[in-house]
Structure 1
Amino acid sequence: MNLAYDPLYLFIGGHWLQAGNRDTAPVTNPADGSVLARVPLATKADLDLALTTAESVAASWRNTFPDERAAILRRAGALIRERAPRIARMLTLEEGKPLNEALDEVNRAGEYFEWFAEEARRIDGRVVPANRPGVQQLVKRQAIGTVAAFTPWNFPAITPARKLSAALAAGCPVIIKPGEEAPATALALARALDDAGLPKGVLQVVFGVPDMVSAHLIASPIVRKVTFTGSVPVGRLLSARAAEGVKPITLELGGHGPVLVFKDADIEAAAVGGVANRFRGTGQVCISSTRFLIQREVYDAFTEQFITATRKLKVGDGLEEGTQVGPLANTRQLEKMEQLVADAVEHGARILTGGKRVPGPGFFFEPTVLADVPMEARVMQEEPFGPIAILRPFDTLKDGLEEANRLPYGLSAYAFTRDARTAIDVGDGLEAGMIGINQYRIIATELPFGGMKESGHGSEGGAEGISYYLTNKFISQA
């Protein structure tokens, strides 16, 4: 037993349930391949209990005064921040990212609970003037009902926090299935909510065989809303399942983030910042910059700075001081990187640096930069979701936008230019839900997070985030 890693449970009806006779799955430290613990997998009986428990508290939680919901969320946010050093260490152990990145993520997860605590107090409606005497017309916004939430392993603190904080603020019970690769972090958030006084049964945390859990929960009439963060293929599947019950679904899916670097840009800021952005989280970040599209006049200068900065990155265990790039989360990701690089090279791409796994234990892959990648290569079509960057020249604004918008994804995009007219044109022309101009940091608690096209629909975070857990009710009273 690793004393730095908490025991793993299911959390149903306010009870922490051990594995018992349930099946379990190993949770692996990606830095050395060791097994940290085994996570219990929910049975259909567990899921039915989670559903009936959520149904039993839905009315009472919906009718709880907003101030009371807000107070619980604020306390939970404070507890998460207070416990952040320990939670961050567990996050690094199970997911692999450098400890400083993990600590930042946990603290920002706390911020989401604090933000939506205040949004709970701002749920309002309106009075609409009637078109005949003696009639009062009201529009109310009320909690939509029980939410089934599904989150991945790559951001095991902030992604569950976005969903939980908004849904709970709106007055919705939640059944959440986090990624089985990184369960302790999500359970730590649940522990903070429980300790903050969240009524028993308002939150259930389950793990299990993903297809079985999603099919069972989404098919239940108790679930009124679905929210999912993950891959495009799984998003399509869950969307179809939700449609069978005419249930709304929020989808935050993958991307293939383009970066347009114009000849008048600050090349150093675009290149050095691009390296930090691309290889943060070992590239396992859906909003990462992936395809660097550089105007031909400055392509060589950008490439030189980008390669220099990439080669300076320190790869290692996320718990080691100074580590900038940790391991990939699992062997599937490691094998995918090898396949993508081999396919690109086979099609004629050049490896400018990196390109292979790091010898020794753990799931490490060198930060890799590819050039001259033909369109036929898989990496030009598929989100790498790993430490691979692609450099490609373009000539005109029109050319750059065409390549940036070529793929069916539209999550994040970036552009670097000193020209105000170009900045306006790329902001208008890029097909992405989130755009950074002259900077890579585009995420904040108070801003909406979401994409367009096959990167999903709906937003999390910001004032917009709570609206997806509310339903409008029109009342006309004579």
Structure 2
Amino acid sequence: MVETRENYIDGEWVSTETDETIDVTNPADPSEVVTQYQRSSAADAATAVEAAADAKSEWAATPGPERGSILRTAGALLEERKSELTDLLIAEEGKARPEAAGEVQRAIDIFYYFATKAADLGGTVKGASAPSTNLYIRKEPVGVAALITPWNYPIAIPAWKLAPALAAGNSVVIKPASLAPGVVIEMAAALEEAGLPDGVLNVVTGPGSEVGNEFIENEDTDVVSFTGSSQVGQMVYDQATDAGKRIQTELGGKNPTVVSASADPAEAADIVASGGFGTTGQSCTACSRAIVHEDVYDDFVSELVDRAETIDIGPGADHEMGPQVSADERDSTLEYVDVAQNEGATLATGGGVPEDLGDGYFVEPTVFTDVEHDMRIAQEEVFGPVVAVLQVKDFEEGLEVANGVEYGLSASIVTDDHTEANRFVEEAEAGVVKVNEKTTGLELHVPFGGFKRSSSETWREQGDAGLDFYTIEKTVYDNY
């Protein structure tokens, strides 16, 4: 029998007022219902916000080391349950096991990191101009944080929003993505067991049009953090700023890897394949454009096609690349395959649905060549295992093409030329820039965010920058 999971509000596991549920199915086998979750209403979301508002003062007054101790205990509980969390993530989202296990470990590491940082949030002391005066700056929590998180990293992204918010002393309401909410429910269970006070964390599952909308517009929420598509993110940004909220959005990408004339084609193909086909291309930092110097273009294409054709596709539990998360995502990717061919790009490999894999949402790793810079396949986010290869005559053209999109999240270059590498770092219009590395993969202790349509360009996530978003500064003049 399929388990039905409840919302977590004010320290209690509760059902929605509507008595409606959402079935989450296995994307590798859509006939399998993994778990049922609450299809919550705006009223449920409002109840959660009320609980968070009631709990915020006591949690804000809790000493930072004590808050950190709770986060550390929760991290240890997640570590004990790593295997089952990995299985749940695979079943709901479809990731290959090594990717799913790595993502769960990332969440554990984030909890440990911010557990330590919680003790360092007192503020700073400055020298005063007048005698007999203490001059110092206090860092205080902003209040109630509303978090709206995506399905593609269903535990890592919620963790890197939730842990700093709690470490800084904020209470939280969170709406996980309806396609894969299970691991967020399990994070809440770990925090409850770790001793988090009632009302400090509230989890409500359901549609963004009801739950997310209430979180953003409710007068008792103070900050909003959203990760998702650029189209929805812009609406969230406008809605939150109109309501006077502090807002942070991390959105889409059209991430390039520039392959220099000095690059080894085999090494470059390894980097692009890992960045483009890893996580089934369902990453905001995935490489979707390989911008290749004409001197190495043919060899690079041959190497990349070979890697695409040798990837083992199937259910994420025991294959190298799993399915896309839903029928809509698969169909969107296949639609872009048709668009690219209609615009004149050459399908070098892939582009279809693998045979003998049943009704799962699988798409073959796909490579397009003869791609022009103004084609949709080179301008729009696909969010599937598709890499467009563009040929350029020199570094200058490669840099221009790399920057010539509306997005600016992650960018990389493969080169043995140090001057090119330095120029790319300085001139690439992206929030994350890498040299001789894939576009995906992030350290947890440094800022993450994008330029242009990839971000609101307001606040960064992760590391100290993540804590900055959830704190506000108060300057104190103490004339003793």
Match of 1:467 in 2: 468
Match of 2:115 in 1: 117
The alpha-carbon deviation at position 130 of structure 1 amounts to 3.3
2 CA distance for matches of 1:318 and 1:134? 65
The alpha-carbon deviation at position 134 of structure 1 amounts to 4.6
Judge conservation of contact 2:18–2:39 (CA < 8 Å) in 1.
no
Judge conservation of contact 1:19–1:39 (CA < 8 Å) in 2.
no
Match of 1:435 in 2: 433
Matched, 1:60 2:58: yes
Match of 1:235 in 2: 233
Match of 2:444 in 1: 445
Judge conservation of contact 1:435–1:442 (CA < 8 Å) in 2.
no
The two structures, once aligned, show a CA RMSD in angstroms of 1.5
Match of 1:164 in 2: 162
The alpha-carbon deviation at position 376 of structure 1 amounts to 4.4
Matched, 1:22 2:19: yes
Letter in structure 2 aligned against 1:466: L
Q: Across the two proteins, how many residue pairs are aligned to each other?
A: 473
The alpha-carbon deviation at position 43 of structure 1 amounts to 2.1
Matched, 1:299 2:300: no
- 1:6-56 deviation line (CA, Å, top 9, x unaligned): 642211011112457422222111101122232212223212211111111
2 CA distance for matches of 1:43 and 1:312? 46
Match of 2:70 in 1: 72
Query: Map of 1:85-124 to 2, 5 A cutoff?
Result: 85-124=83-122
1 CA distance for matches of 2:42 and 2:423? 52
Give the secondary-structure state (helix, strand or coil) at the position aligned to 1:383: coil
Judge conservation of contact 2:56–2:200 (CA < 8 Å) in 1.
yes
2 CA distance for matches of 1:375 and 1:266? 24
Higher mean displacement: 134-143 or 183-192: 134-143
CA change 1:376–1:438 in 2 (3 A) is closer
Higher mean displacement: 18-27 or 361-370: 18-27
Match of 2:322 in 1: 326
Query: Map of 1:388-467 to 2, 5 A cutoff?
Result: 388-440=386-438, 442-456=441-455, 457=457, 458-467=459-468
Give the secondary-structure state (helix, strand or coil) at the position aligned to 2:30: coil
Query: Map of 1:16-415 to 2, 5 A cutoff?
Result: 16-18=13-15, 21-34=18-31, 35-319=33-317, 321=318, 323-359=319-355, 360-415=358-413
Judge conservation of contact 1:253–1:454 (CA < 8 Å) in 2.
yes
Judge conservation of contact 2:68–2:167 (CA < 8 Å) in 1.
yes
When normalised by structure 2's length, the TM-score is 0.96
CA change 1:336–1:193 in 2 (3 A) is same
1 CA distance for matches of 2:193 and 2:4? 17
Give the secondary-structure state (helix, strand or coil) at the position aligned to 1:287: coil
Judge conservation of contact 1:334–1:357 (CA < 8 Å) in 2.
no
- 1:180-200 deviation line (CA, Å, top 9, x unaligned): 000111111111111111111
Judge conservation of contact 1:29–1:96 (CA < 8 Å) in 2.
yes
Judge conservation of contact 2:410–2:432 (CA < 8 Å) in 1.
yes
1 CA distance for matches of 2:231 and 2:183? 25
Letter in structure 1 aligned against 2:23: P
Give the secondary-structure state (helix, strand or coil) at the position aligned to 1:16: strand
- Residue ranges of structure 2 left out of the alignment (5+ in a row): none
Judge conservation of contact 2:143–2:222 (CA < 8 Å) in 1.
yes
Letter in structure 1 aligned against 2:447: P
Give the secondary-structure state (helix, strand or coil) at the position aligned to 2:295: helix
Q: Identity over aligned residues, as a percent?
A: 36
- Residue ranges of structure 1 left out of the alignment (5+ in a row): none
- 1:352-382 deviation line (CA, Å, top 9, x unaligned): 0001123431111111101112344322221
1 CA distance for matches of 2:268 and 2:4? 43
The alpha-carbon deviation at position 442 of structure 1 amounts to 4.0
Judge conservation of contact 1:232–1:254 (CA < 8 Å) in 2.
yes
CA change 1:16–1:207 in 2 (3 A) is same
1 CA distance for matches of 2:312 and 2:50? 49
Give the secondary-structure state (helix, strand or coil) at the position aligned to 1:370: strand
The alpha-carbon deviation at position 128 of structure 1 amounts to 3.2
1 CA distance for matches of 2:242 and 2:160? 26
- 1:35-85 deviation line (CA, Å, top 9, x unaligned): 223221222321221111111110110110111011111111111111010
2 CA distance for matches of 1:175 and 1:444? 26
When normalised by structure 1's length, the TM-score is 0.96
The alpha-carbon deviation at position 464 of structure 1 amounts to 1.8
Higher mean displacement: 128-137 or 397-406: 128-137
1 CA distance for matches of 2:42 and 2:17? 15
2 CA distance for matches of 1:234 and 1:383? 14
Judge conservation of contact 2:140–2:473 (CA < 8 Å) in 1.
yes
Letter in structure 2 aligned against 1:26: D
